[in-house]
């Protein structure tokens, strides 16, 4: 809706029609994301009839080095129909105006609340601009502005509160592109054009996804649009993501929004750590994309060729890429990432398998390989938020739905005596300890489940299901050495359709007799 100019009459009607909003910790107000509790500054004052139809500057001096500024504003006197409009000016330029529409704003170099301009946050005198379209005679409008600052980049949430506050399985696409890099879609004429961000987000919403990470190449240009769109797509989490694209491999980054220097000059850790260390310092996740893809004229820099990554450098690996699957017709061919992931797991790196459509065409028909949401990554999260997604990926309780369905479930669990573990967890057992594995499987009529042990698919741990049969496995015995065991599901035609993450087995101590 187009905002009308402020006027005393409009303000009076608005005050009569709309109940006062709860703010600053009262019921209904989201907690500030910028700080755990204590504001950097609190500005207070009181507008009276003398301020009616005037603008009041409330000044504060911002220090150097601030990466995000967030202001929560509240005022009283609404019972007397007082109205205060809100704007902001930095030492160099006007930064925005929200009138009476919003009670808070956030600004960083990359993104800002709608109505405000993203950009650097210069040190010096800032002014909160208070406009008073209505204050009655003898009325008072006491106000409070709580200012929060961040002095270092960190994980960014575009929503003020979790999209869903309950734990559960959430389905999404972790790899997709818009016209902010090389994503395309059709214009009215049918011409292929750089696809606007909103068209890509709309396509994901139409697929019924719970979250998406728009991972345009190396740029941060998509983040301001995602912040604006998050309010309209209030059932789907928009995750800050980007694809760090180098000459020696591509990796997705989830969480941070600041610029990351992708300009590697060699395929080694000293070059890669320039951006990988920054991501981890800021609380984000690094995921290697399509590591088995070729590099060269066919796919420039696509295959992962960076040597010497230390433990902890990588949090996840894209084991199925929709674009590659579209070209090869297979989710488990040599060009996919399963073998590279297994190599890391066999080196005792606990990294999480994920998938991504790598969509470059927002209007590609649903369920085609490489269409938005195909494949889908399904994550068990404590809540549907960016922090919840990162926690879910780190936990390893994740599976890949190759076909991008809305209803399939794969969850592997293991029991040994009183010990219990699910995907991503570790069972500590003595040599000779017996484990029983169980698979919670939904949405697949018939096929077979294969337990993959240290990368090997032993037929002794393959179980058919369907026609009333459930997959069951013989007990597996620990030998005192570390192992990893995951589950894969194939349909009746033998096609790989679900890929689970491992349960890890470690020694409990002395060898038993």
Residues 130/85, Cβ–Cβ less than 8 Å: yes
Residue 71 lies in a domain: yes
Check residue 467 and give its pLDDT: 83
Does residue 290 share a domain with residue 426? no
Domain-embedded: residue 1: no
Residue 78: inside a domain = yes
Retrieve residue 432's tokens: 């000779």
What's the pLDDT score for residue 509? 65
Residues 113-120, mean pLDDT to the nearest whole number: 98
Examine the pLDDT at 513 and tell me if it is beyond 80: no
pLDDT of residue 295: 86
Structural domain of residue 444, as residue ranges? 407-513
Dihedral Cα 421, 425, 430, 433, nearest 10 deg:
30
467, part of any domain: yes
The CATH number covering residue 334 comes to: 3.20.20.140
**Looking at the domain assignment, is residue 123 inside a domain?**
yes
Between 3-12, 152-161, 189-198, 368-377, the lowest mean confidence (pLDDT) is in: 3-12
Does the pLDDT at position 26 exceed 60? Answer: no
Domain total in the chain = 3
Three-class SS of residue 210?
Answer: coil
pLDDT of residue 145: 98
pLDDT tens track for 381-400: 999 999 999 999 999 999 99
Q: What is the pLDDT of residue 505?
A: 97
205/286 same-domain check: yes
Last residue of a domain, one of 101, 126, 150: 150
Residues 422 and 388 occupy one common structural domain: no
Instruction: Say yes or no to pLDDT of 266 above 60.
Output: yes
Q: How far apart are CA 452 and CA 337, in angstroms?
A: 15
Residue whose C-alpha is closest to residue 322's, from 496, 176, 205: 176
- Predicted local confidence at residue 35, as pLDDT: 41
Burial class (CB in 10 A: 0-12, 13-18, 19+), 36: exposed
| 289 closest CA partner among 346, 240, 206, 217 | 217
Q: Average per-residue pLDDT in the chain? A: 91
pLDDT band at 510 (very low <50, low <70, confident <90, very high): low
Alpha-carbon 132 to chain mean position: 39
Confidence at residue 18, expressed as pLDDT on a 0 to 100 scale: 33
Looking at the fold, whether 167 and 282 belong to one and the same domain comes out as yes
Same domain, 128 and 163: no
Do the bridges between strand 409-416 and strand 352-356 make them parallel or antiparallel, or are there none, so unpaired? Answer: unpaired
pLDDT at 24 exceeding the cut of 70: no
Q: Where are the beta strands (DSSP E) in 90-200?
A: 94-99, 104-108, 124-134, 140-150, 168-176, 184-186, 192-194
196 and 313 in a single domain? The answer is yes
The per-residue pLDDT for range 281-314, each reduced to its tens digit, is 999 999 999 999 988 887 889 999 998 999 999 9
User: 389, 406, 423: which is the final residue of a domain?
Assistant: 406
List, as one string, the DSSP characters of 354-384. Answer: EEE--BSBTTSPTTSTTSTTSSEEEEEESSB
Question: Cβ-count burial of 350 within 10 angstroms (0-12 exposed, 13-18 middle, 19+ buried)?
Answer: middle
Rounded distance between C-alpha atoms, residue 464 and residue 467, angstroms: 10
Express as a percent the part of the chain with pLDDT over 90: 87
- Sole residue written with tokens 């009183």: 418
Residue 7 has pLDDT above 60, yes or no: no
Pair 204, 296 in one domain: yes
* Average pLDDT of the segment spanning 48-73: 97
HSE-CB at 170 with a 13 A cutoff on CA atoms is 30
Inside any domain, residue 47: yes
Across the range 106-135, mean pLDDT stands at 98
- Residue 3 inside a domain? The answer is no
* Together in a domain, 66 and 20: yes
Backbone angles phi, psi at 3, to 5 degrees: -75, 130
pLDDT at 5 over 60: no
Say yes or no: 134 and 209 in one domain.
Answer: no
Shared domain for 174 and 144, answered yes or no, is no
DSSP letter for 334, please.
T
**Cβ count within 10 A of residue 79:** 9
Residue at 189 is within a domain = yes
Interval 419-448: pLDDT, tens: 999 999 999 999 999 999 999 999 999 999
Which domain-ending residue is among 150, 182, 197? 150
CA 497/CA 506 separation, integer angstroms: 29
CATH of the domain at 464: 2.60.40
CA distance 432 to 38: 53
12 plus 110 within the same structural domain:
yes
Give residue for tokens 């087995």: 505
pLDDT interval class at 367 (50, 70, 90): confident
Going by the DSSP 8-state scheme, the letter that residue 282 receives in this structure is T
Residue 468: what pLDDT? 80
In terms of Cβ atoms closer than 10 Å to its own Cβ (0-12, 13-18, 19+), residue 45 is middle
Q: What is the CATH number of the domain that holds 30?
A: 2.60.120.380
Residues 381 and 244 both lie in one domain:
yes
């Amino acid at each position: 809706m187009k905002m009308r100019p402020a006027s005393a009459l409009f303000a009076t009607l608005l005050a009569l029609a709309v109940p006062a909003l709860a703010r600053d910790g009262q019921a209904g107000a989201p907690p500030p994301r910028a700080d755990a509790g204590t504001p950097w500054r609190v500005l207070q004052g009181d507008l009276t009839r003398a301020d009616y139809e005037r603008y009041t500057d409330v000044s504060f001096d911002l220090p150097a080095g601030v990466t995000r500024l967030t202001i929560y504003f509240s005022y009283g006197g609404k019972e007397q129909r007082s109205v205060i409009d809100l704007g902001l000016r930095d030492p160099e330029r006007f930064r925005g105006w929200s009138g009476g529409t919003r009670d808070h704003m956030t600004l960083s170099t990359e993104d800002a609340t709608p109505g405000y301009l993203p950009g650097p946050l210069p040190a010096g005198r800032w002014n909160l601009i208070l406009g008073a379209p209505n204050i009655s005679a003898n009325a008072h409008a006491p106000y409070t502005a709580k200012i929060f600052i961040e002095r270092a980049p960190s994980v960014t949430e575009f929503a003020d509160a979790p999209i869903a506050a309950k734990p559960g399985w959430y389905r999404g696409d972790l790899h997709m592109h818009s016209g902010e890099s090389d994503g395309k879609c059709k214009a009215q004429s049918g011409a292929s054009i750089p696809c606007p961000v909103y068209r890509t987000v709309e396509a994901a919403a139409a697929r019924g996804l719970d979250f998406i990470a728009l991972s345009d190449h190396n740029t941060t240009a998509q983040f301001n649009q995602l912040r604006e769109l998050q309010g309209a797509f209030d059932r789907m989490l928009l995750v800050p993501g980007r694809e760090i694209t180098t000459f020696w491999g591509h990796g997705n980054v989830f969480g941070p929004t600041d610029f990351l220097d992708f300009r590697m000059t060699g395929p080694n850790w000293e070059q890669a750590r320039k951006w990988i260390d920054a991501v981890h310092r800021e609380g984000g996740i690094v995921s290697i994309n399509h590591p088995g893809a070729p590099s060269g004229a066919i796919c420039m820099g696509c295959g992962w060729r960076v040597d010497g990554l230390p433990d902890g450098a990588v949090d996840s690996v894209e084991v199925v890429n929709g674009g590659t699957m579209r070209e090869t017709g297979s989710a488990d061919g040599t060009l996919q990432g399963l073998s590279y992931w297994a190599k890391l797991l066999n080196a005792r790196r606990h990294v999480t398998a994920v998938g991504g459509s790598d969509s470059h065409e927002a209007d590609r028909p649903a369920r085609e390989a490489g269409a938005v949401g195909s494949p889908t990554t399904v994550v068990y999260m404590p809540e549907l938020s960016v922090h919840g997604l990162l926690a879910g990926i780190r936990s390893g309780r994740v599976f890949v739905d190759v076909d991008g369905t809305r209803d399939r479930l794969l969850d592997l669990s293991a029991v040994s005596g009183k010990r219990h573990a699910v995907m991503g967890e570790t069972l500590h057992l003595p040599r000779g300890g017996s484990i029983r594995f169980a698979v919670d499987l939904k949405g697949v009529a018939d096929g077979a489940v294969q337990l993959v042990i240290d990368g090997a698919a032993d037929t002794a741990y393959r179980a058919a299901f369907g026609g009333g049969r459930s997959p069951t496995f013989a007990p597996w015995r620990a030998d005192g050495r570390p192992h990893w065991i995951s589950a894969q599901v194939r349909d009746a035609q033998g096609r790989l359709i679900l890929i689970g993450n491992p349960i890890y087995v470690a020694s409990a101590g002395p060898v038993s007799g």
